[in-house]
Amino acid sequence: MITRRKALVGLSALLGVSLTPQSIAATWTAVQGETYESFLTEEQKKALRTTCGHMIPTTESPGALDVKAPEFIEHLLYNWASTERRTALVNAIDLLVDQRMASGTIRQLGTLDKNAYSESGPLSVEEKNQFRELKGLILASYYSSEAGASEELGYEYVPGPFQGDIALSDIGKAWY
């Protein structure tokens, strides 16, 4: 089973980046208010938004749509990704379009996810890898946002004194 931390570390290694608080803050700041010409079609945008919303829905904490994860992904594709990486990720978004995810249900996403992680099935190895990479990018986009890190994960920059053995129920979050 892959943990969030392993997913983020793997994604950053795959993409060849170092996710530091400063680099994340700079990138998120760049996304806010920046305008650029989009290369995704409206149908691709809808499919990406729906998928992000299903993967990390709004609950007590903000969801992927609340932190603008789809816009962040588009920003990375437009301003940062190499042509090869951009093509692979847009192909994964096209796979969402092909699966009718623009108006899709959580069940459809579950089926796509199951096919992407099965040994056999209707997806090629390349499609499986592209979908997995897109999922990792959605998770990284969410958990590297301020709300994802501070509210969902409960990260505190200066958490307080070391306490070696405390119950999770005392702190209430995965990170402290």
Chain Cα centroid distance, residue 71: 11
For residue 2, the tally of other CB atoms under 10 A from its CB is 9
How confident is the model at residue 168, as a pLDDT? 75
For residue 124, the tally of other CB atoms under 10 A from its CB is 9
Tally the C-alpha atoms within 13 A of residue 130's C-alpha that lie toward its C-beta. 18
Q: Where are the domains of the chain?
A: 41-151
Phi, psi of 53 (to 5 degrees): -65, -35
CB of 57 within 8 A of CB of 63?
A: yes
How confident is the model at residue 169, as a pLDDT? 79
What is the mean pLDDT of each successive set of 10 residues along the chain, which is 176 residues long? 58 55 54 66 92 92 93 89 91 89 81 89 91 93 86 69 76 61
How confident is the model at residue 80, as a pLDDT? 84
How confident is the model at residue 39, as a pLDDT? 78
| Whether the predicted model's global pTM rises above the 0.75 cut | no
> Distance between the two ends of the chain, CA-based, in angstroms?
22
